[in-house]
Amino acid sequence: MQEIKIERTTAPKPRDYDEHKLGFGDIFTDHMFVMDYYEGKGWVDARIVPYGPIPLDPAAMVLHYAQEVFEGMKAYRRADGKIQLFRPERNFARLNLSNERLCIPKVDEAFCLEALKKLVEIDADWVPSLEGTSLYIRPFIIAVDPHLGVRPANHLMLIIILSPVGAYYPEGLNPVKIYVEKNYVRAVKGGMGFTKTGGNYAASLKAQDEAHDQNYTQVLWLDGVERRYIEEVGTMNVFFKIDGEVVTPALEGSILGGITRASCIEILKSWGVPVSERRLAIDELYAAYEAGKLEEAFGSGTAAVISPIGELKWGDKIMTINNGEIGPLSQKLYDTLTGIQWGKLEDTFHWTCPID
Site of interaction with ligand PLP (CB under 6 A)? 72, 196, 232, 235-237, 256, 258-261, 300-302
**Would you say 77 or 261 has its CB closer to ligand PLP?**
261
Contact between 5 and 47 under an 8 Å Cβ cutoff? The reply is yes
Q: Which helix (DSSP H) or strand (DSSP E) does residue 21 occupy? A: none
Q: Is 62 helix (H, G, I), strand (E, B) or coil?
A: helix
Please give the DSSP secondary-structure letter assigned to residue 13.
P
- In whole angstroms, how close is the CB of 315 to ligand PLP at the nearest point? 23
Closest Cα partner for 77 from 19, 24, 14, 26?
19
Q: Is 136 helix (H, G, I), strand (E, B) or coil?
A: strand
Burial (CB < 10 A; 0-12, 13-18, 19+), residue 233, is buried
- In whole angstroms, how close is the CB of 58 to ligand PLP at the nearest point? 28
* Phi, psi dihedral angles at 150 (to 5 degrees): -85, 115
Inter-CA distances, 263 with 53, 182, 244, Å? 36, 30, 19
**Would you say 27 or 220 has its CB closer to ligand PLP?**
220
- In whole angstroms, how close is the CB of 60 to ligand PLP at the nearest point? 23
- In whole angstroms, how close is the CB of 300 to ligand PLP at the nearest point? 6
**Would you say 62 or 259 has its CB closer to ligand PLP?**
259
- In whole angstroms, how close is the CB of 100 to ligand PLP at the nearest point? 17
Report which residue's Cβ sits closest to ligand PLP: 258
Residues in contact with 106: Cβ distance below 8 Å, sequence separation at least 6, in sequence order: 96, 99, 100
